[in-house]
Amino acid sequence: MLKFGDVVMSVASIAVIFALIAGPLEMVLFSALSISDMNNWGYTVSLIVSFLLGALISGYAFAGKIWEARREAITKITVLWAALVMLFAIIVPATVVDWGPTAKEEFRAANHGTTLSTSEWVTWEYMYLDMFTFLIVGMALVLGFIGLYVGSMLRKPEKS
């Protein structure tokens, strides 16, 4: 049976595997796939691959414990993983210096140079952060569930 400690260990292993895969993959794919300032395909693809591989490897490693109550176990692990990812998605804008100017640039480009009041800019940046968080958490949920399920299927438990 999957205990809470096992769920935490599984999520921690997803996070470690993600970190080990994401960094090198981002360096390779960013230069290979990012063509212009507004095209972040290298980062996006590396994020998708890292989310999926992290969950896949963790699902394989914890297959024995996941197998007993597969849907419930995968759901618990995925939700805790998505919560951890959400915390980082909320923290990222505070640590990235150009987050606000980027949000403004994208708004101005989409709205032909329109400018907003300070209050409207704050609201726009909140919406920008909410959409970023929605997309990142959505990817973590979907790819985490798929990765854990497939990973656990790759290593079936031995019958006694």
How much is the pLDDT for 143?
Answer: 97
CA distance 32 to 87: 29
Tokens of 147: 């990765």
Q: What is the pLDDT of residue 68?
A: 78
- Write down the pTM of the prediction: 0.84
Q: Which pLDDT does position 41 carry in this prediction?
A: 79
CA distances from 83 to 35, 88, 99, 105 (A): 32, 9, 22, 29
- Statement: residue 130 has pLDDT above 60: yes
Instruction: Indicate the residue type of 130.
Output: D
For residue 108 the two structure tokens come to 């101005």
Euclidean distance between CA atoms 78 and 143, whole angstroms? 9
pLDDT of residue 107: 87
Q: What is the rounded CA–CA span in Å between residue 92 and residue 95?
A: 5
Q: Average pLDDT over the chain, rounded to whole?
A: 88
Confidence of residue 159 (pLDDT cuts 50, 70, 90): low
Per the structure block, which two tokens stand in for 103? 């949000």
Contact 53, 140 (CB under 8 A): no
How far is residue 17 CA from its own chain's centroid?
Answer: 12
Tokens 């009041």, located at residue: 117
Per-residue model confidence as pLDDT tens digits over 82-128: 999 999 998 988 888 888 888 888 888 888 878 889 899 889 888 98
Over residues 73-82, the mean pLDDT reads 95
Across 1-10, average pLDDT: 89
Gyration radius from the chain CA atoms: 19
* Euclidean distance between CA atoms 64 and 153, whole angstroms: 10
What is the torsional sign of CA 28, 29, 35, 40? negative
Rounded mean pLDDT, 42-69: 90
pLDDT in tens, 26-55: 888 877 776 655 567 788 888 999 999 999
